[in-house]
Amino acid sequence: MLGKRKSQRSLFDVIGLPHRVAPDSFYGRMGRLGSQLFRDEDFKDCYSADTGRASVPPSLMSGVLLLQFYDDVSDAEAVERVCFDLRWKVALNVSLDYDGFHPSSLSVFRARLLEHGQERYAFDRLLAVSREAGLLADKVTLLTDTTDVKGAGAVQDTYTLLRKGIRKLLKTMGYYLPGKRQGCAAEVERLLASYVDQDRRATADWSDPAVHHAQLQRLVADSEATLDLAVAQADDPDVRSLGWLIAKILGDDIETTESGEHQLADGTAADRLLSLTDPAMRHGRKSMAHKFNGYKTTTSIDQASELILDIADLPANEGDGKSLLPTIARVEEHAQVTVERVLGDGAYGSGENRAACAERPEHPIDLVSPMARPTDPAVDKSAFKLDLPAHTATCPNGQTVSPSRTHTDADGRTTYRFSFDHAQCLACPLFARCVRSATAGRTLTVSPYEDYLRAARERQQTEAFQALYRLRARIEGKQAELVARGLRHTRYVGAAKRSLQRLFLGAAVNLKRIFTLTAAKGIDLLAQLSQPAHSEEIGMPALT
């Protein structure tokens, strides 16, 4: 049943007693908002109306979650601070003698938010309040970037992945139960003794390469035998999912030699699985030298107010640019604003993104993103003259050719490939700088988005572009603040739980920024929060 804050004041009410928490601090300002920041009635659809014991007030629990991510503390530490930290008592408006609650209540509350799809509650509410207070304009310029974050699972090598996978699949099929084991074949009994009855790697001299080789042969054979067993229970989604994971590990990490033996594959598969405890984790890199295991988190802020308008996870092995259009859609849906311009680094400036922004049915978006500078402008693609209506390309030395190959995709966009004559290229003074092949002339591939890319290169040379692009540096500072407050420490396994963590952290950082903006503009935030009686009145979706 929904619990609500009591309006009756306590003799030990921290607000009525002198204390050392600065009124202009984050905690002091949060405390002045009282129960108006998060309201119990907003959660009425998440609780039974008349059944069960009254819950800890959800407005209080929302405040605790926000402070927990702001200060980057555990559930147990959060409850300790509710009970003993004067700053938290001021921020949450609880009395000095408040005895708190069990740390598991935070887990239960997070699960309730996820069950009702309300992990965005705090984030969206603060954005709605920002709009009503005039802090967030109807039309915005979006600054966006990604940063790497660690996953919550343990990174495991191929041997451990297979061993743990076999054990997990056998247990999921029920082979840990005595009744299931009765009458099993000798081979199945061996699998159970090796993987279910104990959970440790084989005792051997692992410094010996021959031991590694022999253990790999056995693990692959046992994996295939376990997958054969799983076929009989393929209608069970958990069995099917685990079977797919083991098959993926075998496909990504193992290769078979001509003699029929198995060995670790050369290189790393692009979508390689690296943890059974958090299967969504992937290998990623932000540069050639900077590699990581986990996820990327994309953050987008409003250029004028520097409020975070979107924060979400991406697969670590996915290019940053793929997140652009989904980010714009989420911002316009949840923040109720119109994105007019996006500033992003070179990863966002693909031809596909430029065309999608320029040709967007709702309204065009100005994508400001730099293009890679040519290493040798004299022989760069931009030095070639293209006449696509006439289907010709002319090189810097005057050789004109027609397409040697064309390809039209499902959307009707055509890619042209131009091949220049080797003999004419050989006589050109730019040959050594222009042609890489010893037997063929220069080739040029022209994408369907060439007009957008060339326009972007020309725009990049202007002072107006440079002035605009310098504004993008603000997103770096916002990401640094998020990282300082624990962004890179993923607490939970599962997309919904990770989303809740990112959104509550974003809400906490936004609240700090709201305090700064309202103080600078002389806005009474408490009066602003007290005006609407229902969440719908401030443009925020009701909790359903």
Q: Do 5 and 102 share a domain, yes or no?
A: yes
Sign of CA dihedral 500, 505, 508, 509: negative
Percent of the chain exceeding pLDDT 70 equals 96
Per-residue pLDDT at 321 exceeds 90? yes
User: Per-residue confidence at 404, pLDDT binned at 50, 70, 90?
Assistant: very high
4 and 103 part of one domain: yes
Q: Where a domain ends, among 248, 264, 280?
A: 264
Tell whether 2 and 101 lie within a shared domain: yes
d(CA 170, CA 174): 7
Residue-level pLDDT at 542: 41
329 found inside a domain: no
Quick one: 86 and 168 in the same domain? no
Listed residue (106, 73, 108) closest to 88, CA to CA: 73
Choose one of 216, 244, 264: the last residue of a domain: 264
How do residues 226-243 score in pLDDT, each as one tens digit? 999 999 999 999 999 999
Q: Let me know whether 187 and 260 are in one domain.
A: yes
pLDDT above 50 (res 540): no
CB of 120 within 8 A of CB of 88? no
Task: Tell me what the mean pLDDT of segment 293-319 comes to.
Answer: 96
pLDDT at 538 over 60: no
If DSSP codes are grouped into helix, strand and coil, which group holds residue 141?
strand
Entry pTM:
0.90
Q: Is residue 190 part of a domain?
A: yes
537 pLDDT more than 70: no
Residue-number span of the structural domain to which 195 is assigned: 158-264
Number of domains into which the chain is organized: 3
pLDDT at 183 (0 to 100) = 81
Domain annotation covers residue 458: no
Are 168 and 89 in the same domain? no
Residues 26 and 102 in one domain: yes
Q: Residue 358 falls within a domain, yes or no? A: no
* Residues 99 and 204 placed together within one structural domain of the fold: no
pLDDT over 70 (residue 535):
no
Q: Are 349 and 367 in contact (CB under 8 A)?
A: yes
Residue 248 lies in a domain: yes
* Predicted local distance difference test score (pLDDT) of residue 3: 83
In a domain, 8, yes or no: yes
* φ and ψ at residue 192, rounded to 5 degrees: -65, -40
Residue pLDDT, tens place only, 102-124: 999 999 999 999 999 999 999 99
10 Å CB burial of residue 236 (0-12, 13-18, 19+) is middle
Is residue 476 within a helix (H) or strand (E), and if so which, with residue range?
Answer: helix 473-484
Higher pLDDT, 407 or 206: 407
Per the prediction, the chain carries an average pLDDT of 91
Task: Write the DSSP string, 168-228.
Answer: HHHHHTTTTSHHHHTT--HHHHHHHHHHTS--S---S-TTSHHHHHHHHHHHHHHHHHHHH
End position of a domain, from candidates 216, 233, 264: 264
Answer yes or no: do 97 and 170 share one domain: no
Q: Specify whether the CB–CB gap between 302 and 142 falls below 8 A.
A: yes
Residue 152 has pLDDT above 90, yes or no: yes
Question: What average pLDDT does the segment 480-505 reach?
Answer: 97
Are 98 and 175 part of one and the same domain?
no
Q: Report pLDDT digits (tens) over 21-62.
A: 999 999 999 999 988 899 999 999 999 878 888 899 999 999
Distance of CA 94 to the CA centre of its chain: 35
Is 123 within a domain?
no
pLDDT in tens, 343-399: 999 999 999 999 999 999 989 999 999 998 888 999 999 899 999 889 999 999 999
Instruction: Of 281, 308, 276, 313, give the one whose Cα is nearest residue 294.
Output: 281
Q: Is residue 327 in some structural domain?
A: no
| Contact (CB, 8 A) for 154 and 161 | no
Who has greater pLDDT, 534 or 263? Answer: 263
> Is the per-residue pLDDT at 544 higher than 60?
no
Is there a single domain that holds both residue 105 and residue 162? no
pLDDT band at 539 (very low <50, low <70, confident <90, very high): very low
As a three-state string, the secondary structure of 61-112 is HHHHHHHHHHHCCCHHHHHHHHHHCHHHHHHHCCCCCCCCCCCHHHHHHHHH
Highest mean pLDDT out of 29-38, 377-386, 439-448, 479-488: 479-488
Shared-domain flag, residues 163 and 247:
yes
534 falls in which pLDDT band (50, 70, 90)? very low
Q: State how far the Cα of 495 lies from the Cα of 320, in Å rounded to an integer.
A: 18
